[in-house]
Amino acid sequence: MLADRLKTLAPSATLAVQAKARAMRAQGIDVISFSVGEPDFDTPERVKDAARRALTEGMTKYTEVPGIPELRAAVCQKLRRDNGLDYDPAEVLISCGAKHTLYNIFVALLNPADEVLVPSPYWVSYPEQVKLLGGVPVAVATDEESGFQVDPARLRAAVTPRAKAVVLNTPNNPTGAVFAAETLEAVARVAVERNLWIISDECYEALTYEGRHISIASLGPEVKARTIVVNTCSKAYAMTGWRIGYAAGPPALITAMSDVQSQVTANPTSIAQWAAVEALAGPQDEVAKMVGEFDRRRRIVVEGLNRIPGIRCAVPTGAFYAFPNVSALFGRRWQGRPLESSSDVAAFLLEAARVAVVPGVEFGSDRHIRISYATELPTIKEGLSRLEAAVRSLAS
């Protein structure tokens, strides 16, 4: 009855685990969710005020498809301020969240069987979006030992004549890696040599705790000309529900994406766009406050995880995820059966510790689990002690 493309579509695993935790809570089960990547902070009041003003002033109609000029100008201002990038508003497209931005990009770029290189571990939606459009995601492994930095030699080796683009996500979901300048330079060289588009997902830019976030587009005009920068208001301004993401890139690609958007959603919500103008162009002090708090939690989470025998967690330098290696638990028995995969470990933790985590296999690594620490500290501490008690109770 349904289209063939649905036969291989995996619904978002991160959202699925969150839904499961919510459903368990609705049944009265006390579940701690380390699943979805969503700031627990409230949207700043100044942003909400801007939305209220927009409502009062009747900003409730269709807007320009690529976004109101004020928001595209605010995006240009942000890219100049934070990334040293010069874009014209005609080179900017506002969409319904960065997830929508990415989908627009893939629709505009991919022919059937075109390949997209995706460094692995990867965020769940890249391969699924590519597959939905008849493209082929090609995972390019990264190593825990190198802090999950992209390996340019492996990237180069994965390029075939069908390769069209590479997705670069720094700071990274799920590993928390922040790609070093040398990594970005090497990736850019491969892209230029092999004529690849660079899709630079910088959604976690604001959440960089060590090192410095660098937009690959800032490495020079030759790189910028083949890069599409993707960002969002979701993380830095705790605006996940408002659904405002954006892209900046070469005008031909932006126009193509805007044409696609004109037939699919048209403009993102008018009120949310006015709120986003305030988020991007207004004072940025709440961002620093939020980052300070995430940084504190990051240290506590990593320390707590590394105290648990059988769990080993490298220190993430960005985003709000820890990506501990749990493979030392494989073979340990729970309810008479050995744990054999990240899904087994996640299922065990949900049942035995009432803690929801996302199995690493969903991100391309079956030896890890993902823990989102975008949750208040007392809950994090309680979750960690539950994890520790459950793991210590495992039979060998």
Contacts of 349 (CB under 8 A, 6+ apart): 355, 356, 357, 369, 387, 390
Per partner kind, with CB cut-offs from 5 to 8 A, the member of ligand GLU, ligand PMP, none near residue 327 is: none
Q: Minimum distance from CB of 323 to ligand PMP (Å)?
A: 13
Pairwise CA distance, residues 231 & 228, whole Å: 10
Q: In the bound complex, which residue of the shown chain has the CB atom lying closest to ligand PMP?
A: 97
Q: Does 169 bind ligand GLU (CB under 6 A)?
A: no
Query: Which residue lies nearer to ligand GLU by CB, 50 or 102?
Result: 102
Q: Minimum distance from CB of 33 to ligand GLU (Å)?
A: 11
Measured CA distances, 16 to 13, 20, 81, 262, 305 (Å): 5, 6, 37, 29, 24
Stretch that binds ligand GLU, among 120-128, 244-252, 311-319, 379-387 (CB under 6 A): 120-128
Q: Does 78 bind ligand PMP (CB under 6 A)?
A: no
Residues 262 to 281 in contact with ligand GLU, rule: CB under 6 A: none
**Does residue 236 sit in helix, strand or coil?**
coil
Q: Minimum distance from CB of 204 to ligand PMP (Å)?
A: 7
Q: Minimum distance from CB of 129 to ligand GLU (Å)?
A: 11
* Site track for ligand GLU across 65-104, x = CB under 6 A: ----------------------------------x-----
Q: Does 245 bind ligand PMP (CB under 6 A)?
A: yes
Q: Minimum distance from CB of 246 to ligand PMP (Å)?
A: 9
Query: Which residue lies nearer to ligand PMP by CB, 208 or 234?
Result: 234
Task: Select the residue interacting with ligand PMP from 18, 234, 372, 375 (CB under 6 A).
Answer: 234
Tokens 């890069």 correspond to 227
Measured CA distances, 109 to 98, 132, 263 (Å): 16, 13, 16
DSSP string, 148-215: T---HHHHHHH--TTEEEEEEESS-TTT-----HHHHHHHHHHHHHTT-EEEEE-TTTT-B-SS----
Contacts of 326 (CB under 8 A, 6+ apart): 310, 311, 342, 345, 360, 367, 368, 369
Q: Does 99 bind ligand PMP (CB under 6 A)?
A: yes
Per partner kind, with CB cut-offs from 5 to 8 A, the member of ligand PMP, ligand GLU, none near residue 170 is: none
Per partner kind, with CB cut-offs from 5 to 8 A, the member of ligand PMP, ligand GLU, none near residue 245 is: ligand PMP
Q: Does 316 bind ligand GLU (CB under 6 A)?
A: no
Contacts of 378 (CB under 8 A, 6+ apart): none
Pairwise CA distance, residues 194 & 138, whole Å: 15
The distance in angstroms from the start CA to the end CA of the chain is: 47
Q: Would you tell me which residues interact with ligand PMP (CB under 6 A)?
A: 37, 97-99, 123, 169, 173, 201, 203, 232, 234, 240, 245
